[in-house]
Structure 1
């Protein structure tokens, strides 16, 4: 597969390429170019022409292009789901569903492209401005660089590329190293739908490609989903050119289970939120479970009974519950974190072993605040359960984290729900459902080390546009 630069599909300027491996088998399934600094510079230069063409394009035309792509995604959902499964390792049901979500996202942004509304602001509340009026309009930022992660590449890219184009920008996509293929395929649909030359481009390669985009003078905004460490580096580099930065970063999401929770329903939610969704590789996955002590053992038993029945294996097999992690490095990192947790006093209830890129679904008890197993994000199928005695203690433990993405509470007590919503320093509080949820029409993002800003069909258009004001002095009154 090739990159897309200035309207043409091409290899790297120096001919270098990277192999794409199936994480379930380590089999090579494709090669993609490894972009150079020259390739990045070409893309940024072409985007200067693309941004003017997009800014001049009427909203109804942007709608038509994005709606056409949404239909193409739906028509090819099965094939795209299979392609994503082979390169990413998530279960085939998940990857096919992710493609369907992407189609909805494209269609949602297509509609919102027609609703980039400004405001009319009467000024009669200001002494001396009684006869004046102001209006505001929204304009494209220019060039958006979309840096996409491996875990939900098609869905997360769709927000960035469809949002950027809907707002009238040019977009340069930097694909995830390990799984760029489904994104590249859908990028073909964008080209075939009639985008202007240079309006959307695709670069493949490593971290150096992303850093070059962040440094580039001709890029106006970075929209990135990834690790907190990468986000800090982007902010540091982007400050040199004062470009806008939107970051959706890591998470260590807490789930608070109160004594009145439905044990069976809660156990099902924890399994889905940590083990069978994304193979545990989700920023908003269930990471820490805080359980009121009287029901702690019952919930632990219920979760353990379900966990030992999970089938780990080929993600293309519909009967598989948990597939591989994205690569060997990711699996080894999770293995090291579990070993450290046990060394710090945690106890293995189930799992704990790595098999190549696969890691067994693992339950830990005896995890204490202050240890890495409590404080750090584990990007894999590892679930610690921690008892608590008082509700305020649970809220404090949930907030005891450098992250603040999402949190969940299982209870039927509305007062506890509202207390949690008021107290927890996170972007979203979920009630009686796993934190591993994202609804494309809602603002998604976090506080603290989990990033800045919010991403969603309505919010992204504001993030990827700028507001301009027109002040009309003394336009009301008798005509001269």
Structure 2
């Protein structure tokens, strides 16, 4: 018999082989879905306090391996080790947060005396598990985004099938073993590794009640199309092209730092909510650019396992090539490079571009790497118009000392979240996170996702009241 296809995992900075895992074929995926049905029945039968205790045990076991998991994740993903430690810490908090949410899945009592003739009857609603949930996890923050999906699914009494990112699955392989050690019912939590064929199957198969995807808009559209035939719930958190607007009364050094920390030196620029477009009012443009270039020059690019590294390798050489090509298109359209631009295999030196023409098609693209393109504006209304012209609507940021202006612009921006005097690369697990338009429309977070992964049932007791 031919050998099973495998996924070879490499350090994107060195090419070193870190491990191999099996890639599932259609038969293996179907078997996993069948096993998940049984696992879900066991998971759904657990009382809330036991589901909560399971998630608490998982969090404690992950915490015990925090440093090893962070190092493994940095090795396979390319993010600097300081950032992967923070990611594992976020996953621990998320599991503990959902442990609490498992005990707070509330129904309602609905007053039937609002309807004439129904005054003597009682209606209540209860929340029940959806069934089997598929979680499609991206490469950029695999441990944290896995936690948002898998912990929520288990908290609500579902089973979950996790497709880890093909380029960096090893940390999730270890966490899956931890979930088993913590006592999850057999079949209730499974990894289904593989490529796009696995994603498509998870969207199509009738035994799956919901698919949760964080990924590109193109992938989201395809998953939604394939999920439509079985009318499964599809939860999409997709691309972004976040704008940061710097008004003429802003603290320009703080605004420049927000671009550096929220774009160039965070996740190597590979974040859906990173600052991807910078609009600066004429009066502070030159001072802002000078500060941005100065701070960018201090960033250390190199081995992601060194504590001193700010920017590691992108997920693959091909990803770095796409970033370099996007920068080239902006330069061809008239932008001027004032910092960075060098590329060595998967490494990209952080780029600052000025005089970026706002109408450039490349400016409308989501560039997934350490690139900060800066455009000018004269009036804040102009900046809002340009920001809203993007097909994406994840987050935006406004730098101003005028609180009225801050709230006015925040209200006008067509996005899922606005950060005032800070970077858009902000996600707290207890906030709803997601966006408008091509970003998908969904909101993910502790208090939202657990309810989205339940179904509501109404129970009516006739003549409950004498």
Contact 1:367 1:373 in 2 (8 A): no
Q: Where does 1:127-142 land on structure 2 (aligned, <5 Å)?
A: 127-142=116-131
Structure-1 separation of matches of 2:415 and 2:95: 27
Which whole-Å CA distance do the structure 2 matches of 1:43 and 1:205 have between them?
13
In structure 2, distance between residues paired with 1:46 and 1:238: 20
**Hey, what does 2:114 align to over in structure 1?**
125
Give distance in 1, aligned partners of 2:357 and 2:113: 59
Whole-Å separation in 1 of the counterparts to 2:23 and 2:320: 24
CA deviation digits over 1:277-322, x for unaligned, max 9? 0000000000011111100000000000111221110011111111
Q: Select the residue among 133, 155, 160 that pairs with 1:171.
A: 160
CA–CA distance in structure 2, aligned partners of residues 416 and 133 of structure 1: 49
Matched, 1:222 2:217: no
In 1, distance between residues paired with 2:411 and 2:395? 13
The more displaced of 369-378 and 169-178 is: 369-378
1:348–1:363 Cα contact (<8 Å) kept: yes
SS at match of 2:116: coil
Shift of 1:13: 9.2
- The aligned counterpart of 2:281 is 292
SS in 2 for 1:452: coil
CA deviation profile, 1:99-127 (whole Å, cap 9, x unmatched): 01100000000111011110111122222
Q: Are 1:255 and 2:259 matched, yes or no?
A: no
SS of residue paired to 1:164: helix
1:272 aligns with 2:261: yes
The runs of 4+ residues in structure 1 deviating greater than 6 Å are none
Give 1:475 shift: 2.1
Distance 1:373 1:272 in 2: 23
TM superposition shift of 1:51: 1.1
Q: Is residue 203 of structure 1 aligned with residue 176 of structure 2?
A: no
Matched residues in 1 for 2:4 and 2:310: separation?
A: 39
Q: 1:30 aligns with which of 19, 25, 32?
A: 19
Q: In 2, Cα distance between the equivalents of 1:14 and 1:462?
A: 42
**CA distance 1:43–1:70, shift in 2 (3 Å):** same
The 5-angstrom pairing of residues 43-122 of structure 1 reads 43-122=32-111
User: Which of 335, 349, 363 pairs up with 2:338?
Assistant: 349
Cα deviation digits, residues 428-474 of structure 1 (max 9, x gap):
11111100010000000111000122110110011100111112333
RMSD: 1.2
SS, match of residue 446 in structure 2: coil
Question: Where does residue 335 of structure 1 map in the other structure?
Answer: 324
| Matched-pair contact (CA < 8 Å) for 2:241–2:277 | yes
CA deviations over 1:365-388 (Å, ceiling 9, x no partner)? 122223123211000001011111
Query: Are 2:148 and 1:162 aligned?
Result: no
Residue of structure 2 in register with 1:283 after alignment: 272
Offset of residue 422 of structure 1: 1.4
- Asked if 1:467 corresponds to 2:460, the answer is no
Q: Deviations over 1:21-53 (max 9, x none)?
A: 101101111111111111101101111111111
Asked whether the 8 Å contact 2:358–2:375 carries over to 1, the reply is no
Report what 2:296 is aligned to. 307
- Give the gaps of 5 or more residues in structure 2: none
CA contact (8 A) 1:74 1:100 kept: yes
Residue in 2 aligned with 1:241? Answer: 230
Distance (Å, rounded) in 1 between the aligned partners of 2:373 and 2:56: 43
State how far apart, in whole Å, the 1-side matches of 2:194 and 2:74 are.
20
TM-score by length of 1: 0.95
Q: Distance in 1 between matches of 2:41 and 2:184?
A: 12
Q: Is the 8 A contact 1:51 1:143 kept in 2?
A: yes
The aligned residue for residue 182 of structure 1 is: 171
Q: Which moved more, 1:277-286 or 1:363-372?
A: 363-372
Q: CA deviation at 1:199?
A: 0.4
Distance of 1:69 and 1:154 partners within structure 2: 13
Instruction: Look up the SS of the partner of 1:458 in the other structure.
Output: helix
SS of the counterpart of 1:451? coil
| More deviation, 366-375/425-434 | 366-375
Structure 1: segments with no counterpart, 5+ residues: 1-11
Paired residues, number: 466
Supply the distance in 1 between the matched residues of 2:223 and 2:87 (Cα, whole angstroms).
27
> SS of the counterpart of 1:287?
strand
SS in 2 for 1:408: strand
CA distance in 1, matches of 2:310, 2:88: 19
> What's the TM-score once normalised by structure 2's chain length?
0.98
2-side partners of 1:167 and 1:225: how far apart? 20
Corresponding residue for 2:404?
A: 415
User: Does structure 1 residue 427 correspond to structure 2 residue 416?
Assistant: yes
SS in 1 for 2:191: strand
State the SS of the aligned residue for 1:318: coil
Counterpart among 28, 45, 67 of residue 39 in structure 1: 28
- Whether the 8 Å contact between 1:13 and 1:38 is mirrored in structure 2 is no
- The answer to whether residue 364 in structure 2 is matched with residue 367 in structure 1 is no
| Whole-Å separation in 1 of the counterparts to 2:405 and 2:237 | 28
Q: State the alpha-carbon separation in 2 of the partners of residues 211 and 420 from structure 1.
A: 40
- Picking from 446, 461, 471, the partner of 2:435 is 446
